[in-house]
Amino acid sequence: MIEIRNLHHRYPDGTQALRGIDLTIDDGEFLLICGPNGSGKTTLIRLICGLFKPTSGSIRIDGLKDPHASQEIRSLVGMVFQDPDSQIVGETVREDVAFGPENLGLSPGEIRERVDWALRVMGLQDRSEKPCHLLSGGEKRRLSIAGVLAMRPRAILFDEPFSHLDYPGVQEVLKHMLLLHREGHSLVVTTHDVEKVIAHVGRTVIIHNGEIKAAGKPEDLMSELPRFGIRPPCYALFGRERISWLTE
């Protein structure tokens, strides 16, 4: 569904953030992109979402040659930002979630239906009239996911979704990710802290210094992680176990 070829990105200050990324993400895949701080994870997923243009290389989404030039990109890929505050645009929870569907030019009825659905899925229906700035960190994270869900994108890219969350918050967000994956959405998650999610993903990519250093099944990459500055999950020492109660 997403095809990235020889992607390079250099920021205006001269920082070379990505150096020749080749990556294909299949429809319905659950992919983990892990790497230490500054390795290029956020840059890569911002480029996939079309927030800015790469210095060179190509990104094809769903076979479209220039997806970022069209409105279609919004129904194909959505991004949950690393910092939820930077994604909040509305005064209240409901207004914030409605912002995306309003920009798609949908009818008021369809907007209401999508907003109610996204608030329900993320467990925010009883907070719908609350001013966004009064939400807790975990609620803001759920709000940012609800805002992306309301756009109904086929692929959802989560940038460090577990940062600032406590244990129940992590479980909550992970549970919703697994449900979205079951419903057929493609999911891409970036993190430097792989423990929370690696047991659930189908494929893992290690990015380091703007390059993909390894890719494959999570269990095959466990021993590679420390070499690239990523802490392996503690249960890697005991074998891989799925946390089945999360998905029940």
Positions that interact with ligand ATP (CB under 6 A):
11, 13, 15, 17, 35, 37-43, 82, 192
Instruction: Please report, to the nearest 10 degrees, the dihedral formed by the alpha carbons of residues 190, 193, 195, 198 taken in order.
Output: 20
* Mode of pairing for the β-strands spanning 30-34 and 203-208: parallel
How far is 36 from 228, CA to CA, in rounded Å? 7
Q: What is the full DSSP assignment across 222-239?
A: GGGGGGGT-PPPGGGGT-
For Mg ion, which stretch binds (CB under 5 A), given 39-47, 136-144, 169-177, 231-239? 39-47
Partner whose footprint covers residue 37, from ligand ATP, Mg ion, none (CB < 5 to 8 Å by kind): ligand ATP
Comparing CA positions, the residue from 52, 56, 53 lying closest to residue 19 is 56
Binding segment (CB under 5 A) for Mg ion, from list 34-42, 46-54, 121-129, 171-179: 34-42
Cα separation, 240 vs 174, whole angstroms: 17
Binding partner of 35, given Mg ion, ligand ATP, none, CB within 5-8 angstroms per partner class = ligand ATP
Give the shortest CB-172-to-ligand ATP separation in angstroms.
22
In the bound complex, what is the minimum distance in angstroms from residue 152's beta carbon to ligand ATP? 26
Task: Give the nearest distance from C-beta 192 to ligand ATP in angstroms.
Answer: 5
Look up tokens 């009818």; give the residue. Answer: 107
Q: Which window, 37-45, 47-55, 169-177, 201-209, contacts Mg ion (CB under 5 A)?
A: 37-45
> Quick one: which segment of 24-32, 41-49, 97-105, 228-236 binds Mg ion (CB under 5 A)?
41-49
Closest contact distance (angstroms) between CB of 227 and ligand ATP is: 17
Of 82 and 186, nearer to ligand ATP (C-beta) is: 82
CB of 214 to ligand ATP, least distance (A): 16
Least Å distance between CB 84 and Mg ion? 14
The four Cα atoms 98, 101, 102, 107 give a dihedral, to 10 degrees, of -110
204 bridge partner residues: 32, 216
How far is residue 5's CA from residue 182's CA, in Å, rounded to a whole number? 28
Considering only residues 42, 87, 144, 204, which one is a binding residue for Mg ion as defined by CB under 5 A?
Answer: 42
- What residues numbered 132-151 form the site for Mg ion, per CB under 5 A? none
Say which residues have a Cβ less than 8 Å from residue 111's Cβ, sequence separation at least 6. 98, 101, 102
Residue nearest to Mg ion (CB): 42
Q: Using DSSP bridges, classify how beta strands 2-10 and 56-61 pair: parallel, antiparallel or unpaired.
A: antiparallel
Least Å distance between CB 37 and ligand ATP? Answer: 4
What are phi and psi for residue 102, nearest 5 degrees?
A: -65, -40
181 touches, from ligand ATP, Mg ion, none (C-beta below 5 to 8 Å by class): none
Residues making contact with Mg ion (CB under 5 A): 41-42
